[in-house]
C-alpha cells in the first residue's frame, strides 16, 4: 500500500511554503524566498516522481487495469448522510500524470523566475503567489470530490488573478486580471449549477460514486436521463453546464477572451498558468468525468465541436498577431482545442478510447513544449524589453541557446517527427479520422496553420532583419540570459525531443486498461508534409525582410483585419457588459432604488410632515386664538348636549 503521508506532502509542501514565505519570509528575509519556494517544490516534484513510479509500475495495476485509488479522505462538510464535501486524494493514471506535469513545470518556472524576476523588489510576493497557485493546482488534480475540484478550481482562478495583476500599478494588468477572473467566474457559475444538477440526481458528490451511479443502469441513471428541461435531459444539462466551467478555464469559445489579455502577467507565470497547467484544467475536468460524458453523446459532441471551432478560430487569429506572447496565447487555445475535440470524438473502452489517450498525451507533451516556448519568449523579452515582434529579428546571434531551444519547441508543436508533438498530434488525428471526417479535415487544416504561425513567430524573432538594440553598448553584450533561466530551457528542450516516446497507450487510458496502437506511415505522412510545407511558406515570407507578408495580408484584407481584431469578440463582450448590463440593468436598478423605493419611504415621511405642518398652525401662540377655540368648543359641546338630551 502507498504510504499516505508522503502523498499528502505533495500538495502540502507548496501551501506550507506559501504560508511561510507569505507570513514570515516576506517580512524578514525577502532575498531567500525564491530559494525556499524552489526547494519546497523540488521536494514536491521528487515525491510525485516517486509516486508516479510506484503507481505505474508497482501498485497501480490490478489485473492489467489501472485502479482508482483513494489515498486520503477527510470529510470537510457533511450536508446529508449522502452528500458531503470531502477533501481527498484520488490517484488514477490522469491525476498521477497531472501532478508530475504540474510539479515539474512549476519547478522549472520557479528556477527560471530566480533569474527572470531577479531584482524585482516584490519577488517574495511573487513566490508567495506561485506557491499558492501550485498548491491549488495540485489540489485540483488530486480531487476526489466534485465539490473539492470546484473549490480548488476557484483557488487557481484567484491565484491566476493575483499573478496576472502582479504588476498592479499598470492599468492594463489590472484590467486583464479583472477580465480573467470575471470571465472564468461566469463560466464557473455553469460549473456550479452543473455540480448541483449532477449531485441532485446521483445523490453524491464523490467522484467515484457519482461516476459509478451515472454509468450503470439503475434508478440514478434513469432518473437523470428521463428528467428533461427544455428538450434536453438533466444529464445533458448537467454535463453541458460542467463543460461550461471547463470551457471558461480552458479558454474555449466563447469564453476565450481572457487568455490573450492574461499575458499581462510576468512571462514565467504565463508559461506555468496560462500555457501548461491551469488552462488545461477544463480538459482535465472533462477527462475526469469522461465515463459520464460517454453516456451522453450530445454533450460529447458539444465538447468536440467547441474544441475544433476554438482550435481553428485561434489558429487563424494567431497568424495575424504581432505580440509574441499573444501569438503563443492563441496557440495555447488552439492546442487545448485539440485536446478537447480529441476527447469529444473518443469512445470509452479499448481502441475506441484512442481519443482520450491522445488527448491526455497531447496535454502532456503540450505542457512541456508550450512551457518551453513561453520561457524562451520570456528570455527574449527579458533581453529586448518588448513584446512586439516588430522590435525583434536576428536574435539567433545574440542568444544561441534560447534560439536552439525555441526552434526545438517550434518543431515539436508543428508536429515534425520525432519531436514530442508529432506523436500526440498523430494520435489525435487518427482518432478523428475514425470518428468524424469533418473534424478530421478541420484538424488537419489547423495543424498546418499551427506550423505556419509558429514558424512565422520563430523567423520573426530569430531571423528576419538584424537586431537593432535600443540600449547602450555595454548592455548589448550580455545577450544570453542568466544560467538559472537557461537551465530550465535546456531541460525542457531535451524533453520536447524525447517526450513523444512515452507509451501513453499503456499508461493513460479511459478505462485504465492499456491497448495497442498501430503506427501507419501512410497516414502520418500527409499531415507531416503539410506541416513542412507550412514551415517553408513561413520561411519564404518571414526569414528575410521582404514585402511578401504585407502583400498577402493586403490581398485578404477583410479576413486579415477581422482576425487581427480577434473577430471583434472583445467589442461584443464590451457591448454586452457596458451597454446592456451596466446601462440597462445596473443603472435602472440604482435609479429605482434611489427614487422609487427610497422615495416611497421618504414619501411616507413627508406625508407625516405635511399633515403635522398643516395642523401645527393652530398652535399659534396667540392667547386670544386659544380663547376663541375654547369658547367655540364649549359652545359646540353645549349645543351638542342640548341637541342630544333636550
Partner 1 sequence: MTNLSILIIVPILTAIAVLFCRNTMQIKWTSFIGSIVQLCMASGLMFSYISERALGNTAQMLFQQRYSWYSALNIEYFVGVDGISVAMIMLTSFVVVAGILISWSVQTLTKEFFFLLLLLSVGAYGFFISLDLFTMFFFLEVAVIPKFLLIAVWGSGKKEYSAMKLALMLMGGSVFVLIGLLTTYFNTNINGLHTWDLLQVAHAQIPLQTQMYIFPFLFVGFGVFTALFPFHTWVPDGHSSAPTAASMFLAGISMKLGGYGALRVATYLMPEAAQEYSWIIVLLATIAIIYGSFATLMQKDLKYMNAYSSISHCGFILLGIGMLTKIAIIGAVLQMVSHGVMTALFFGAIGMIYERTHTRQLSDLGGLLKVMPFIGTVYVITGLCSLGLPGLSGFVAEMTVFVGAWQRPDAFHRTATILAAASIVVTAVYILRAAGKAVMGPITNQHYLELKDANWNEKFASVLLIIGILAIGIAPFWLYNLIAPDAQIIMENLTRGGIVN
Partner 2 sequence: MENIGLTHILFVSTTLFFIGVYGFLTRKNMITMLMAIELILNSINMNFVAFNKFLYADKLDGIFFTVFIITIAAAEAAVAIAIIIHLYRNIKSIDVDEADIMKY
H/E stretch holding 154 reads: helix 146-164
How many of the chain's residues bind partner 1 (CB under 8 A)?
A: 47
Sequence-separated (6 or more) residues with CB below 8 Å from residue 70 = 88, 89, 90, 91, 144, 208
Q: Which does 62 bind (CB under 5 to 8 A by kind): partner 2, partner 1, none?
A: none
Q: Which is nearer to partner 1, 66 or 153 (CB)?
A: 153
Distance in Å, CB of 643 to partner 2, minimum: 21
Strand, helix or coil for residue 145: strand
Q: Which does 621 bind (CB under 5 to 8 A by kind): partner 2, partner 1, none?
A: partner 2
Q: Which own/partner pairs from 520-525 qualify as long-range (CB within 8 Å, at least 24 positions apart)?
A: 520/430, 523/426, 523/429, 523/430, 523/433, 524/417, 524/422, 524/426
Quick one: CA torsion of 110, 115, 121, 122, rounded to 10 degrees? -20
Task: Give me 117's grid cell.
Answer: 524576476
Q: Which is nearer to partner 1, 13 or 111 (CB)?
A: 13
Distance CA 602, CA 596 (A): 10
User: Any contact of residue 16 with partner 1 (CB under 8 A)?
Assistant: no
Distance in Å, CB of 617 to partner 2, minimum: 9
What would the DSSP string read from start to end of 31-93? Answer: GGHHHHHHHHHHHHHHHHHHHHHIIIIIISEETTEEPPEEEEEEEEEESSSS-EEEEEEEE-H
Q: Which of 298, 533, 590, 611 binds partner 1 (CB under 8 A)?
A: 590
Strand, helix or coil for residue 118: coil
CB 238 within 8 A of CB 205: no
Distance CA 460, CA 324 (A): 9
Distance in Å, CB of 257 to partner 1, minimum: 15
Distance in Å, CB of 623 to partner 2, minimum: 6
Distance CA 477, CA 163 (A): 31
Q: Which does 619 bind (CB under 5 to 8 A by kind): partner 1, partner 2, none?
A: partner 2
Q: How far is CA 606 from CA 385, 610, 614, in A?
A: 65, 6, 12
Per CB under 8 A, contacts with partner 1 among 162-181 are: 165, 168-171, 174-175, 177-178, 181
Helix, strand, coil shares, percent, the chain, to 5: 75, 5, 20
Strand, helix or coil for residue 180: helix
Task: Give me 590's grid cell.
Answer: 440604482
Q: Which does 642 bind (CB under 5 to 8 A by kind): partner 2, partner 1, none?
A: none
Distance CA 462, CA 410 (A): 12
User: Any contact of residue 78 with partner 1 (CB under 8 A)?
Assistant: yes
CB 238 within 8 A of CB 293: no
Burial category of 525 from C-beta neighbours within 10 Å (exposed 0-12, middle 13-18, buried 19 and up): exposed
Q: Which is nearer to partner 1, 42 or 189 (CB)?
A: 189
User: Any contact of residue 600 with partner 1 (CB under 8 A)?
Assistant: yes
CB 273 within 8 A of CB 279: yes
Task: Give me 462's grid cell.
Answer: 530569430
Q: Which does 232 bind (CB under 5 to 8 A by kind): partner 1, partner 2, none?
A: none
User: Any contact of residue 612 with partner 1 (CB under 8 A)?
Assistant: no
Q: Which does 532 bind (CB under 5 to 8 A by kind): partner 2, partner 1, none?
A: none
Task: Tell me the backbone φ, ψ of residue 388, rounded to 5 degrees.
Answer: -90, 130
Q: Which is nearer to partner 1, 498 or 585 (CB)?
A: 585
Distance in Å, CB of 591 to partner 1, minimum: 8
3-state secondary structure 196-226: HHHHHHHCCCEHHHHHHHHHCCCHHHHHHHH
Task: Give me 49's grid cell.
Answer: 516522481
Q: Which of 28, 582, 629, 631 binds partner 1 (CB under 8 A)?
A: 582
Distance in Å, CB of 616 to partner 2, minimum: 5
Interface map 184-213 toward partner 1 (x if CB under 8 A): -xx--x--xx--x--xx-------------
**How far separated are the first and last CA of the chain, in Å rounded?**
111
Q: Which does 416 bind (CB under 5 to 8 A by kind): partner 1, partner 2, none?
A: none
Q: Which is nearer to partner 2, 588 or 613 (CB)?
A: 613
Q: Which is nearer to partner 2, 501 or 618 (CB)?
A: 618
Question: Which positions lie near partner 2, rule CB under 8 A?
Answer: 616, 619-624, 627-628, 631
Q: Which of 59, 349, 589, 632 binds partner 1 (CB under 8 A)?
A: 589
Q: Which does 620 bind (CB under 5 to 8 A by kind): partner 1, partner 2, none?
A: partner 2
Strand partners, 232: 229
Distance in Å, CB of 95 to partner 1, minimum: 19
Q: Which does 624 bind (CB under 5 to 8 A by kind): partner 2, partner 1, none?
A: partner 2
Distance CA 518, CA 426 (A): 11
Q: Which is nearer to partner 1, 189 or 225 (CB)?
A: 189
Distance in Å, CB of 602 to partner 2, minimum: 22
What would the DSSP string read from start to end of 352-407? Answer: GGHHHHHHHHHHHHHHHHHHHHHHHHHHHHHHHS--BGGG---TTTT-HHHHHHHH
Q: Which does 27 bind (CB under 5 to 8 A by kind): partner 2, partner 1, none?
A: none
Interface map 562-581 toward partner 1 (x if CB under 8 A): ---------------x---x
Task: Tell me the backbone φ, ψ of residue 40, rounded to 5 degrees.
Answer: -65, -35
User: Any contact of residue 158 with partner 1 (CB under 8 A)?
Assistant: yes
Q: Which does 628 bind (CB under 5 to 8 A by kind): partner 2, partner 1, none?
A: partner 2
Task: Give me 172's grid cell.
Answer: 492594463
User: Any contact of residue 76 with partner 1 (CB under 8 A)?
Assistant: yes
Q: Which is nearer to partner 1, 121 or 557 (CB)?
A: 121
Q: Which is nearer to partner 2, 57 or 631 (CB)?
A: 631
What would the DSSP string read from start to end of 215-266? Answer: HSSSHHHHHHHH-EETTEEHHHHHHHHHHHHHHHHTT-TTSTTHHHHGGGS-
User: Any contact of residue 601 with partner 1 (CB under 8 A)?
Assistant: yes
Distance in Å, CB of 88 to partner 1, minimum: 15
Q: Which own/partner pairs from 516-522 qualify as long-range (CB within 8 Å, at least 24 positions apart)?
A: 516/351, 517/351, 517/354, 517/357, 517/427, 517/430, 519/426, 520/430
Q: Which is nearer to partner 1, 143 or 424 (CB)?
A: 143
Q: Which is nearer to partner 2, 523 or 630 (CB)?
A: 630
Q: Which of 152, 313, 422, 542 binds partner 1 (CB under 8 A)?
A: 152
Per CB under 8 A, the segment of 364-372, 511-519, 565-573, 588-596 that binds partner 1 is 588-596
Distance in Å, CB of 150 to partner 1, minimum: 8
Q: Which does 386 bind (CB under 5 to 8 A by kind): partner 1, partner 2, none?
A: none
Q: Which is nearer to partner 1, 168 or 568 (CB)?
A: 168
By CB under 8 A, name the binding residues for partner 1: 75-80, 83, 147, 150-152, 154-155, 158, 165, 168-171, 174-175, 177-178, 181-182, 185-186, 189, 192-193, 196, 199-200, 577, 581-582, 585-587, 589-590, 593, 597-598, 600-601, 605
Amino acid at each position: 500500500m502507498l504510504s499516505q503521508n508522503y502523498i499528502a506532502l505533495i500538495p502540502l509542501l507548496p501551501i506550507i511554503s506559501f504560508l511561510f514565505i507569505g507570513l514570515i519570509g516576506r517580512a524578514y528575509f525577502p532575498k531567500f524566498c525564491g530559494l525556499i519556494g524552489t526547494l519546497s517544490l523540488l521536494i514536491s516534484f521528487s515525491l510525485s516522481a516517486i509516486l508516479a513510479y510506484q503507481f505505474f509500475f508497482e501498485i497501480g495495476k490490478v489485473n492489467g487495469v489501472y485502479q482508482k485509488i483513494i489515498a486520503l479522505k477527510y470529510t470537510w462538510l457533511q450536508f446529508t448522510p449522502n452528500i458531503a464535501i470531502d477533501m481527498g486524494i484520488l490517484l488514477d493514471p490522469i491525476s498521477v500524470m497531472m501532478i508530475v506535469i504540474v510539479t515539474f513545470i512549476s519547478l522549472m518556472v520557479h528556477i527560471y523566475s530566480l533569474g527572470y524576476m531577479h531584482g524585482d523588489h516584490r519577488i517574495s510576493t511573487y513566490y508567495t503567489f506561485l506557491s499558492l497557485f501550485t498548491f491549488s493546482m495540485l489540489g485540483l488534480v488530486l480531487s476526489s470530490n466534485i465539490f473539492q475540484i470546484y473549490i480548488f478550481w476557484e483557488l487557481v482562478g484567484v491565484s491566476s488573478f493575483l499573478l496576472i495583476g502582479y504588476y498592479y500599478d499598470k492599468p492594463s494588468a489590472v484590467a486583464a486580471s479583472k477580465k480573467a477572473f470575471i470571465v472564468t467566474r461566469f463560466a464557473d457559475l455553469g460549473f456550479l449549477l452543473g455540480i448541483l444538477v449532477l449531485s441532485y440526481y446521483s445523490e453524491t458528490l464523490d467522484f467515484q460514486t457519482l461516476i459509478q451511479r451515472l454509468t450503470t443502469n439503475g434508478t440514478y441513471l434513469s432518473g437523470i436521463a428521463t428528467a428533461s428541461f427544455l428538450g434536453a435531459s438533466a444529464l445533458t444539462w448537467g454535463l453541458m453546464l460542467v463543460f461550461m466551467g471547463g470551457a471558461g478555464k480552458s479558454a474555449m469559445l466563447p469564453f476565450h477572451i481572457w487568455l490573450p489579455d492574461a499575458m499581462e502577467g510576468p512571462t514565467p507565470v504565463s508559461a506555468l498558468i496560462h500555457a501548461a497547467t491551469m488552462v488545461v484544467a477544463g480538459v482535465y475536468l472533462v477527462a475526469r468525468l469522461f465515463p459520464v460524458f460517454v453516456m451522453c453523446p450530445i454533450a460529447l459532441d458539444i465538447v468536440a465541436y467547441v474544441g475544433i471551432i476554438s482550435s481553428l478560430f485561434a489558429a487563424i487569429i494567431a497568424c495575424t498577431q504581432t505580440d509574441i506572447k499573444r501569438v503563443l496565447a492563441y496557440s495555447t487555445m488552439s492546442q487545448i482545442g485539440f485536446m478537447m475535440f480529441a476527447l469529444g470524438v473518443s469512445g470509452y473502452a479499448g481502441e475506441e478510447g484512442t481519443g482520450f489517450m491522445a488527448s491526455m498525451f497531447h496535454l502532456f507533451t503540450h505542457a512541456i513544449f508550450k512551457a518551453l516556448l513561453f520561457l524562451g519568449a520570456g528570455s527574449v523579452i527579458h533581453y529586448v524589453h518588448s513584446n512586439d515582434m516588430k522590435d525583434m529579428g536576428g536574435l539567433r546571434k545574440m542568444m544561441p541557446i534560447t534560439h536552439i531551444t525555441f526552434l526545438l519547441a517550434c518543431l515539436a508543436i508543428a508536429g515534425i517527427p520525432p519531436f514530442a508533438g508529432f506523436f500526440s498530434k498523430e494520435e489525435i488525428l487518427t482518432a478523428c479520422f475514425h470518428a468524424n471526417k469533418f473534424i478530421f479535415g478541420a484538424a488537419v487544416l489547423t495543424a498546418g496553420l499551427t506550423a505556419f504561425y509558429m514558424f512565422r513567430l520563430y523567423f520573426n524573432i530569430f531571423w528576419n532583419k538584424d537586431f537593432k538594440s535600443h540600449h547602450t553598448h555595454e548592455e548589448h553584450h550580455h545577450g544570453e540570459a542568466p544560467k538559472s533561466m537557461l537551465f530550465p530551457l535546456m531541460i525542457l528542450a531535451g524533453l520536447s525531443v524525447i517526450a513523444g516516446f512515452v507509451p501513453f497507450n499503456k499508461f493513460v487510458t479511459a478505462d485504465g486498461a492499456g491497448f495497442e496502437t498501430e503506427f501507419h506511415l501512410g497516414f502520418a505522412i500527409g499531415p507531416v508534409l503539410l506541416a513542412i510545407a507550412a514551415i517553408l511558406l513561413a520561411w519564404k515570407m518571414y526569414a528575410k525582410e521582404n514585402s511578401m507578408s504585407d502583400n498577402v495580408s493586403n490581398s485578404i484584407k477583410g479576413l486579415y483585419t477581422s482576425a487581427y481584431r480577434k473577430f471583434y469578440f472583445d467589442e461584443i463582450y464590451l457591448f454586452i457588459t457596458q451597454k446592456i448590463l451596466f446601462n440597462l440593468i445596473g443603472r435602472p436598478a440604482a435609479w429605482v432604488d434611489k427614487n422609487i423605493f427610497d422615495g416611497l419611504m421618504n414619501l411616507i415621511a413627508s406625508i407625516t410632515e405635511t399633515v403635522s405642518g398643516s395642523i401645527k398652525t393652530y398652535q399659534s401662540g396667540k392667547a386670544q386664538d386659544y380663547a376663541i377655540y375654547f369658547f367655540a368648543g364649549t359652545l359646540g359641546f353645549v349645543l351638542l348636549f342640548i341637541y342630544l338630551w333636550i
